[in-house]
Chain A
Amino acid sequence: MPSTRYSPAHFSRSVDLTLHRLRVGHGIPDSAAPIARIIERVTADSFQQRERDRMREEAAAVQQRYSNQALELCVSRIPAGMPKQASAEPIAATALLGGVACRGVPCSPALLSQMATHLRDHGVAALRRLPIARLLTILDQASLLWLDPSYEKRSLAIEAIHRWTGFSREMVIHSIDLEMRSSRRLDLWRTLWTELGNPRVLDGRAWCPSGESPCLAFGPSLIGAVFSSNIPALPHLTYMRGLAVKSPVLGKVASNEPIFAAQYIDTLIELCPELAPALAALWFPGGSQELESALLSQADCVIAYGSDSALQGLSRAIPPESRRLLHGHRMGFGAVDHRGLQDPELAKQMAYDFAVFDGQACLAPVVYFVETELSGAEALAQAVGRELQALATWLPARTMRPEDRAAREHKVQQWEVQAVFGSEALRVVRAPGRALHWAGLVSEGEYIPQQLGDRLFHIHCIRSLDDVVPHVRPFSRYLQNVALSATGPAREQLAVRLAGLGVSRVNRPGRMATPSMMWHHDGRLCIAELVRWADIA
């Protein structure tokens, strides 16, 4: 159990949790937004400074703690009660920075099948014995533990994920913080209340606003999950969603980030050993069809993250009657009108949106449309560049493989060539000096999407906000997340049009990467879509 300490440090952390919540706007009703904004502005500087200091200090402490230490981790977790498995073997993937080795239990279709049966038979029973209130308390405690810099698993995960993926320690810290701060008791209860009408339908027959009579709700008897590696610590969301509907989860971890899932499972089991028969994590190489089929054919609900082509491959292995929540490629963008452009915070907010998770999240913008001329946009781009430079002091860029660095350099070379030799009006801004810390493309006219990420950004000039819809309409299938800075009725009008086109989240600049766990991810309900109902008169 987490220790409850009423020290000044603890108090300050609680204050900062609240301030963070104000900043990301989770659960703040419209009516309270103006006051929240005032508090946010007043506290911004000191809060940000504390956050940055804390992250820097923690990163330094973690580095110090594990310096000269080779790490070895097992990425598989076998549910309690299963027969002893063959010992774990090194997985066929390596750490980008070295210094950490990962082992996993060798997978076979037979093992997956056996495990699925075990999770269904024993995991469901174990979870149904626990009241939902208890499960949500455990999840809240897990989040609190993972927010505690002195929690050993957190330090280990930060160092190991940093070494494996090349993400900076600070970025891993930030990622874990964002995930866990939006996974608190209040968030969970609120999600369950709003999506189910009454969380107690998961415990037994209970009144509920939907249905013809009091009802019961059941989560899937097995959630099969396929994780991606683009955001550190992301698997926690799927395990949390599973437990919130009393479903066992069998997760296949990504070769590029195999570490977090097993550590999180350990936390949950530490907090509540009864969960042990219901949680499992495995690694096998992505694209192994036989193993994927064995995993997915056994699950009555599949949650998967990945590229469209990877998801297409998985889709074929999912039985038609199973539920599926497949999160494929998405396109985010920002739009700012001429008044939004005057906001002195805009460049900083844009820099954060482009830089967080090094642009690897589906939430990341691929462009900011800005209502201005080319020269105004170029000035904004310079300002965003300066902010990126400043941001790198507390959220350093990830380390990349040489081939990826070359691709990034090449991309900027292409922009520069296009700006000089091409017919379109383009400007390219880049970090001073030879190292390419950041670079931005400024364009106007026809919008052509660019592959960004890793501190590259794109600003496209528009004459008015009316240009946004035609620019993004060709990509409507991919639209998801939008930052919109505009005033008056124009903002809502555009937001509504974008929503009609397929956008599932409109927020303001600086908040693109921080949805709460309550958001309609890809326009869907994250809890309600998992459950099956029974009306019992």
Chain B
Amino acid sequence: MDTTRLKTDVCGFLEHPGDDVRFGELALRMFRWHLDAMPKYRAFCLRRAADPSRIDDWRKIPPLPVEAFRYAELSCSTPAAIAQRFSTSGTSGQKDPRRGRGVAAFDRAALDVMDVAIRVNAARHLFPDQLKCRIFVLAPRPEDVPHMIMAHGMRHLMSVFGDAQSAFVASKDGLDVERLLEGLASATSDGVPVCLIGASFAFVNLLDGLAASGRTVAALPKHSRIMDAGGYKNRSRELTPEVFRELVGRAFGVPDSHLVNLLGMTELASQIYDNALSDTGSDRVRCKTPPAWVRTRVVSIDDQTVDAKPGELGFLVHYDLANFSRPLALISDDLGYVVAGGFNITSRVKSSEPRGCSVSLDELWRQA
């Protein structure tokens, strides 16, 4: 397998998206390489298809449950050639407390492709107006949290789209609220639009903290935008997306059209933005819109080889060409449904509490 050529072709597709045929061709080239280079992944695919190397449609590539990253370092490269290891979030309905977080291993080529993906994707979905912003990230610098993929991605984003005063405004100990407020105030006085980026829970905690001390923030300059990602992970109160946008939009004086939510998974090299900024058509429905090199299928719960009907709840399966030397088809533990132009997430898979006196595994674990 000529992986240098493949990398060039994939990056070319990222920069200048081709059609579905080209997508499928690249996906299958990558998949065959992955089968050869990752024996365990091949073993998994053999459970799903008699002869995976003969699969001839990208839709038939067996999606790997993201759970797999908890057990194995999945990369085509040897461990020595891994340039960066990121931790998965550890919230995927994990019941066995002795099992730790997962690892997403990136070799140099995978990091390069991811960086292209981050840039092209943000240009399309977060800065479609090609605005230069002052970016504040409510997370520690990548040097401080080398295992956090978001910090890595945001550093790259900042270098491309941010001005010189852009900054990470948290340390490992938490958010530096004073620094953030000073930064916002100076951006306001400079008249520079701000792009505020952080985990959803970080915004909620920030605003709850400010409200508790009776402080408010001045409305951000025109064209400012806010991007949240990652949900709550039990680290703040949980809000519905609508309530979250209402809260954050009001606090920072940012219109709903400039509040963007991002689906980011450490297991995927690409992020999936919602269409708030990228789709300005009047009849748009808010939804997640994968970039051209990512195909997200919502598959039927009962038969994951077929698509769910429109509006029907299903598992999300992502096919990501930017997962270069890592499995490209992943089935996540999010549930969602298809809408015109993309999809929406409703919830994570979680087992319902057993009723009555049948046993609950959680109770057993607490007891053991």
A-to-B contact residues, CB < 8 Å: 228-231, 234, 254, 256, 305-308, 327-332, 359-362, 364, 366, 401-411, 413-414, 416-418, 420-423, 434-436, 448-451, 453, 474-475, 477-478
Chain A residues with Cβ below 8 Å from B358 are 230, 329-330, 359-362, 364, 453
- Given A421-B44, A435-B302, verify A453-B357 contact (CB < 8 Å): no
CB proximity of A4 to chain B, nearest CB, Å: 36
CB proximity of A17 to chain B, nearest CB, Å: 27
Nearest to B47 among chain A residues (CB) is: A416
The SS class assigned to the B binding surface is: loop
Query: Pick the contact of A230 from B67, B356, B361 — CB < 8 Å?
Result: B356
Chain B residues with Cβ below 8 Å from A406 are 301, 313, 315, 335, 349
Chain B residues with Cβ below 8 Å from A434 are 302-305
Nearest to A419 among chain B residues (CB) is: B47
CB proximity of A526 to chain B, nearest CB, Å: 15
Nearest to A475 among chain B residues (CB) is: B364
By Cβ-Cβ distance, the 5 closest A-B pairs, closest first, are: A228-B356, A230-B356, A362-B357, A421-B71, A407-B351
A-B contact count (CB 8 A): 152
Query: Pick the contact of A331 from B331, B335, B359 — CB < 8 Å?
Result: B359
Question: B65 an interface residue at 8 Å Cβ cutoff?
Answer: yes
Listed residue (B303, B335, B364) with the most chain A CB atoms within 10 angstroms of its CB: B364
Question: B355 an interface residue at 8 Å Cβ cutoff?
Answer: yes
- Given A362-B356, A407-B350, verify A451-B95 contact (CB < 8 Å): yes
* Seed contacts A421-B72, A474-B367; 15 additional CB < 8 Å A-B pairs: A230-B355, A256-B355, A329-B359, A330-B357, A362-B358, A364-B359, A402-B335, A407-B350, A410-B351, A413-B67, A417-B68, A434-B304, A436-B302, A451-B361, A478-B363
Interface size class of B (residues with CB under 8 A): 35 or more
Contact call A305/B72, Cβ cutoff below 8 A = no
Question: B352 an interface residue at 8 Å Cβ cutoff?
Answer: yes
Chain B residues with Cβ below 8 Å from A414 are 65, 67
Query: Pick the contact of B359 from A305, A408, A478 — CB < 8 Å?
Result: A478
Whole-angstrom CA separation of A234 from B67 in the bound complex: 38
CB proximity of A464 to chain B, nearest CB, Å: 23
Contact call A421/B364, Cβ cutoff below 8 A = no
Listed residue (B95, B301, B355) with the most chain A CB atoms within 10 angstroms of its CB: B355
B-to-A contact residues, CB < 8 Å: 40, 43-44, 47, 64-65, 67-68, 71-72, 93, 95-96, 301-305, 312-313, 315, 331, 333, 335, 347, 349-361, 363-365, 367-368
CB proximity of B102 to chain A, nearest CB, Å: 10
Contact call A421/B40, Cβ cutoff below 8 A = yes
Contact call A435/B303, Cβ cutoff below 8 A = yes
Whole-angstrom CA separation of A24 from B59 in the bound complex: 51
Whole-angstrom CA separation of A417 from B96 in the bound complex: 14
Whole-angstrom CA separation of A306 from B349 in the bound complex: 23
Whole-angstrom CA separation of A327 from B304 in the bound complex: 39
CB proximity of B273 to chain A, nearest CB, Å: 25
CB proximity of A233 to chain B, nearest CB, Å: 13
Whole-angstrom CA separation of A155 from B268 in the bound complex: 53
Whole-angstrom CA separation of A418 from B354 in the bound complex: 23
Listed residue (A308, A411, A474, A477) with the most chain B CB atoms within 10 angstroms of its CB: A308
Whole-angstrom CA separation of A414 from B305 in the bound complex: 18
Whole-angstrom CA separation of A483 from B346 in the bound complex: 41
Chain B residues with Cβ below 8 Å from A420 are 40, 43-44, 47, 68
- Given A417-B65, A420-B44, verify A360-B351 contact (CB < 8 Å): no
Chain B residues with Cβ below 8 Å from A332 are 359
Whole-angstrom CA separation of A422 from B67 in the bound complex: 11
Chain B residues with Cβ below 8 Å from A331 are 359, 364
Chain A residues with Cβ below 8 Å from B368 are 474-475
Chain A residues with Cβ below 8 Å from B331 are 413
- Given A436-B302, A451-B95, A478-B367, verify A407-B349 contact (CB < 8 Å): yes
Chain A residues with Cβ below 8 Å from B315 are 406, 409
Chain B residues with Cβ below 8 Å from A330 are 357-359
Nearest to B352 among chain A residues (CB) is: A404
